[in-house]
Structure 1
């Protein structure tokens, strides 16, 4: 069973996941702080480069399986045209109503 993006409990996370699933690059970056950072499997990455490669150019999509920590932690099935589908974990840090950092990796 999945949790639709529109039902995620944290508004900043909900905005980011909704934009990702809608392939709305403008809304995705609008949901982030100007100085947002991210990591993938424990390694910091260039956020824009990673998002271009792993999300927007490859039609990335999150099917959220569970959320915890007041909606700031997710377990989701992530898929894109490059890697197929895999179980992933996501951890979000929020500042001023926007995501300032996210960490993802295989669950």
Structure 2
């Protein structure tokens, strides 16, 4: 059973998942701080290059299976046209003051 983005405990994370699934890059970027960072499988990556390659240029989609840490940790089935489907873990850091994500980390779960 998947958890709909609107049902996730953290509304910012839910909005980010919804932006991924809607292929809405502008909405996705609007949820990040200007200096946001990310890592994939433990290695820091260039955020813009990574989101283009792994999400927006390849039809990325997240089906959230579980959440923890107030909705800031997810396990999701992530799929794209490059890699197919894989079980992934996601961790989000919300900037002080809330409202925007300053870092996210993903990798195989």
Task: Give TM-score scaled by structure 1 length.
Answer: 0.98
Map 1:1-107 → 2, pairs under 5 A? 1-95=1-95, 96-107=98-109
2: CA distance, partners of 1:79 / 1:93: 23
| Structure 1 residue 25, shift from structure 2 partner | 0.5
1: CA distance, partners of 2:28 / 2:86: 21
Q: Aligned with 1:38: secondary structure?
A: strand
Computed over aligned residues only, the root mean square deviation of the Cα atoms, in angstroms, reads 0.5
| Structure 1 residue 6, shift from structure 2 partner | 1.3
1: CA distance, partners of 2:35 / 2:3: 29
2: CA distance, partners of 1:2 / 1:20: 15
Task: Give TM-score scaled by structure 2 length.
Answer: 0.96
- The gaps in structure 1 that reach 5 residues or longer are none
Query: How far does the alpha carbon of each residue in 1:1-54 deviate from its partner, in whole angstroms, 9 at most, with x for none?
Result: 000111111011011111011000000000101100000000000000000000
Q: How many residues align?
A: 107
Q: Aligned with 1:88: secondary structure?
A: strand
